[in-house]
Amino acid sequence: MLEAHHLVKRFFGITVVDDVSFSVRAGEVVGYLGPNGSGKTTTAKMCTGLIETSAGSVRFEGRDISDDPIAFRRRLGYVPEEPQLYSFQSGREYLEFVGRLRELPPLTLERKMDALLELLGLSGAANQAIASYSKGMKQKVLLIAALLHDPDVLIFDEPDSGLDVTTTLVLRHLVRALAERGKAVLYSSHVLELVEKLCDRVIVLHRGRVVADDSVANLQDLMTSHSLEEVFAQLVLREDPQITARDIADLVVDHA
Amino acid sequence: MRDRLLVRHFLQRFLDHDMMSPHADRREVLTFTCTMVVVSSLFLAFFLAVKYQLNVFLPPGLTSIVALDDRFLLISIAMIVMGLLAAAEWDALALDTRDTAVLGPLPVPPAVIVRTKFVAIILFAAGFDLALSLGPTVMRTVALPVRLPVTFAGALRLTFAHALCATAAGAFGFVAVLGVRETCRAVAGPAHFRRISAGLHASLVVFFMTALLLLPGSYSSAALTWLTPRRVPAMTIPPLWFVGLHEILAGTVIDGLPRGVPSPRYAAAEHDATQLYRSLWPLFHRLATTAVVASVAVITVTVAACVWNNRRLPAESVTHDDRFRLLKRGFLWTATRLVVRRPAAQAGFFFTLQSLSRSAPHRVTIAASIAVGLSIVVITLGGNDLHQTFNLATTPLSMLALQTLLIGVVLTAFRHVVRVPADVRASWTFQLAWSGDERPYLAGVKRAATSVLVVPTLLFLFVGDVWILGPRIAALHAVTGMGVALLLLELLFLNYRNLPFALGYVRSEDLKAVGPLYVLAMLVGAVALAALERAALGSVPGEAAFFGALVVLLIGVHALDRSHRRTRVPIDFDERPSGAIRLELMR
């Protein structure tokens, strides 16, 4: 359904995404992992068409998304990493605005919006200015905005960031439920445990390149590991986290 | 060291401003602003000094009276500009929740944070105030006829008095705005203040901008116009308080000079001027006392309100505003059923209303345009004798053209603000949810402008027109205004193929060339339309022909717009200014 072909992105000559290829099929949840600065968000933005690729292409149902980006975005739901919203609007006003821009029928929009606000525990704060929202509340608004129009492809860029435990659990089940309804989901997260339980397949990115693309079980077999955390550590970590942590602690207490 | 660091941090916050591009070089902006302020005030002082140098034999009595105009102008400018500055820095005048988030966790006592914030405000205001008064103070002795035998001590006294009164007036303007803000906040509470803050801010911008625009036309003959009791009592005009103070401090330097034998050209006028000036002395005393009392009162109230509001660092407060719920629902129902029915048009309509009312750069621009409009109204009405009865044939063209000019000013400002992003970081929302057809969204934007800018403007003028022109002609004039507004909106957006409020601001390259031509065209167009209106209204065939022509024109422009938009143009969400603009070659 969604395919990335040899994606490359350079900023001022510095390559941040280098020859990344993967695909996400309908009904599949693909985890997208990598340390900070590995190019996850850049890849996600290229997949939405928000930034242009330096080379390579993103295809949706076989067509390059740049051929008709608007048609693609009609079927795309995206939760960005940074919750940048219009802070002078309330949560409800923002959702109404997005729904209206997407030309959703008013009654459908109102019904869905009210129900989703209620289900995500945001109905009490829906009329407050977004400026007063916590990060988790903003994430919930973004999540609702991404789901309002029943998209076929969902790109979640660290959607669990700032969410409370209950909502994180709801989100986990929601992603699975959406996949069962035929949606293609690309899920970027730092919570390895969540990705391990949620995703059919995992792509691991390191320094802008794909270093693994397989199911969690296959990766565990391949790396003779018991958990995704161990696989991730073997693929990505170049230093022992314990040693790094000890060095940091030593530095903190050093007053010389 | 810590205090100095905090003061510097808060001073930088004054430059971290919504009206400034986040990509702008703050130091460059600061340097440019300071230079502009100093150079403008120097130029003005030089301009005012020229008349004394051309009248070297001007005797002391006349000099005292003429100098009153200059003091009134310079003191008014200091007060108004400082008031405007405070209004421009509205949100930076107090600590906010961001300060609490950043500085709260640090081991800095809240009292230190509050104290350094106010030291920063004082330094900022004082720096600007001094820069503003520097030119006229330095040039004070140049603004004297060279033949007047003013001693060195006298010249020093004049300079000191001007410096003191001008900076005191500026400080008064700044502190008054701060006082209004903090007193309202103390009375209403932080949560309620947030609701009224935008309206208060816009009102102050309108007030100070209007005062500044009207000042050049009203400062001359200050002694006769404002100080002698004719229309408005002098005590109600704050700049005059400081003029009075100035005269008490240094008025005798010139008035006390030996008169000698004035030239025959000035003899009679000099006698009258001396009499008039000396007759104003009791008033100067009262004005000076008012200046001192008012300054002390404003400072006391402001300090008290600031102390009250800063008992603790500001915290995020959440309010549930269920008042006016029925009214809001009613408005929503009316807007979505009658004004904008299509969802994308509703998005444009409501987003425009939200941006205009809640985003500071948009609000200030619209407020400034309203100030320009109000100034035009005051100047036009002031130039006509409103006590006589008008009929359409005798109504001056300027009064009929007023409506078109006012609408033109407001809609031009609106056309400008649609190019300013509501929040450029959040514009990705448009990119993702965009349907590809700008027409319905743009229709919603235009209808929002009609609803909140055009209709209130026409209603405001209609009330006056009913009194001047009678209800029938006033109604027809208002209908003309609506037609003109719709036509102007269509024309202003004819070649606009972008998304209002969504894209990064790209400055026009040809503004300096096109701007004056546009103003000229608007003036000529408004007067021509007024002439046509005067000729057409009053007879049924004339009215039919006039409105018919207006409707045909409107339909024609609308059809042209539709045909332009038939071909879809992809919207460049990452539009960048041209190389020349980015390199500041157009400045």
Amino acid at A199: C
Residue B506 confidence (pLDDT): 65
Average pLDDT, chain B: 87
Q: At what angle do helices B152-218 and B110-138 cross, to 10 degrees?
A: 100
| Average pLDDT over every residue of B37-66 | 88
- Is residue B463 less than 8 Å (CB to CB) from chain A? no
Average pLDDT of the residues in B40-46:
90
For residue B339, give the DSSP letter. I
Restricting to B residues 415-434, those with a Cβ less than 8 Å away from any Cβ of A are: 422-423, 425-426, 428-434
Are A70 and B434 within 8 A, CB to CB?
yes
B514 has a pLDDT exceeding 90? no
Q: How wide is the angle at C-alpha B515 spanned by C-alphas B513 and B516, nearest 5°?
A: 85
- Contact residues of A toward B, CB < 8 A: 48-50, 70, 73-74, 76, 78, 80, 82, 84-89, 93-94, 96-106, 109, 125, 127-128, 132, 145
The phi, psi pair for B216, rounded to 5°, reads -55, -30
Pull the structure tokens for residue A251.
């530095």
CA-wise closest residue to B81 among B216, B215, B174, B203: B174
3 state DSSP class of A241:
helix
The number of angstroms, rounded, from the C-alpha of B473 to the middle of its chain's C-alpha atoms is 32
Least confident range from A210-219, B184-193, B284-293: namely: A210-219
Q: Point out the residue among B318, B321, B433 whose CB comes nearest to the CB of A132.
A: B318
Question: What pLDDT is recorded for position A163?
Answer: 87
What pLDDT score does B20 carry?
Answer: 58
| pLDDT tens digit sequence for A203-222 | 988 888 888 888 877 777 76
pTM of the model: 0.84
CA distance A24 to chain B (A): 20
Closest CB from A97, A99, A125 relative to B351: A97
More confident residue, B316 or B443: B443
Number of H helices and E strands in chain A, helices first, is 10, 10
- pLDDT at position B34 over 90: no
For A18, A37, A239, B15, B429, the CA distances from A210, given in Å and listed in that order, are: 8, 13, 19, 43, 29
Contact B56, B145 (CB under 8 A): yes
Instruction: Please state the three-class secondary structure of B209-262 as a single string.
Output: HHHHHHHHHHCCCHHHHHHCCCCCCHHHCHHHHHHHHHHHHHHHHHHCCCCCCC
C-alpha pair distances (Å), B345 with each of A200, B348, B409, B513, B573: 41, 5, 25, 34, 20
The amino acid present at B299, given as its one-letter code, is I
The mean-pLDDT minimum among B114-123, B152-161, B535-544 falls in: B535-544
Out of A84, A88, A101, closest to residue B347 by CB: A101
pLDDT of B407 reads: 95
Structure token pair of residue B124: 């900022």
Q: Which two tokens stand for residue B139?
A: 């040039």
Could you tell me the CA-to-CA distances from B297 to A98, B163, B181, B182, B290 in Å, in that order?
A: 50, 21, 15, 14, 10
Predicted pLDDT of residue B21:
58
Over residues B154-173, mean pLDDT? 95
Using a CB–CB cutoff of 8 Å, tell me whether B342 touches chain A: yes
Instruction: Enumerate residues 6+ apart whose C-beta is below 8 A from B500.
Output: B348, B352, B418, B419, B441, B442, B445
Q: Residues 358-397, chain B: which have Cβ within 8 Å of A? A: 358-359
The residue of chain B nearest to residue A85, with distances taken between CA atoms, is B426
H or E segment and range at residue B548: helix B540-566
> Which pLDDT does position A242 carry in this prediction?
82
Q: What is the helix (H) or strand (E) element at residue A203, kind and residue range?
A: strand A201-206
Please tell me which of the candidates B316, B320, B347 has its beta carbon nearest to residue A97. Answer: B347
| pLDDT at position B17 | 65
- For residue B336, what is the DSSP state? I
Angle formed by the axes of helices A91-101 and A106-119, nearest 10°? 140
Range B467-476 average pLDDT:
87
DSSP B47-112: HHHHHHHH-TT--HHHHHHHHHHHHHHHHHHHHHHHHHHHHHTGGGGS--HHHHHHHTTSS--HHH
Instruction: Give pLDDT tens digits for B539-551.
Output: 888 889 999 999 9
Average pLDDT of span B531-544: 88
Res B323: pLDDT: 67
Is A128 within 8 Å of B318 when comparing Cβ atoms? Answer: yes
CB-CB under 8 Å, A127 with B347: no
Q: Please give the C-alpha separations between residue B479 and each of A76, A229, B399, B404, B467, in angstroms, as whole numbers.
A: 46, 72, 16, 12, 17
Q: Which tens digit of pLDDT belongs to each residue from B59-113?
A: 888 899 889 989 999 999 999 999 999 998 998 899 988 888 888 888 888 899 9
- Please tell me the distance from the alpha carbon of residue B135 to that of residue B69, in angstroms, as a whole number: 17
- For the segment B479-492, what is each residue's pLDDT rounded down to a tens digit? 999 999 999 999 99
Inter-residue contact B276 to B64 (CB < 8 Å): no
pLDDT at B586: 44
Per-residue confidence (pLDDT) for residue B585, from 0 to 100? 47
Q: Are strands A2-11 and A55-60 parallel, antiparallel or unpaired?
A: antiparallel
| pLDDT of B498 over the 60 cut | yes
**Maximal CA-CA distance, chain A:** 67
Angle CA(B486)–CA(B492)–CA(B497) in degrees, nearest 5? Answer: 120
Which segments in chain A show pLDDT lower than 50? none
Tokens, residue B261: 């034998």
ipTM of model over 0.85: no
Two structure tokens written together for B324? 């006016």
Q: Does the pLDDT value for residue B2 go beyond 90?
A: no
SS3 A155: strand
pLDDT, tens only, B324-374: 778 888 888 998 888 899 999 999 999 999 999 988 889 999 999 999 999
The number of residues making up chain B comes to 587
d(C-alpha A178, C-alpha A142), whole Å: 16
Amino acid at A178: L
Residue-level pLDDT at A231: 73
Outline where DSSP puts E strands in A80-200: 153-157, 184-188
pLDDT confidence bin for B587, thresholds 50/70/90: very low
What is the Cα–Cα distance from B551 to B553, expressed in whole angstroms?
5
Q: How far, CA to CA in Å, does B454 sit from each of A56, B355, B406, B460, B546?
A: 50, 17, 9, 10, 21
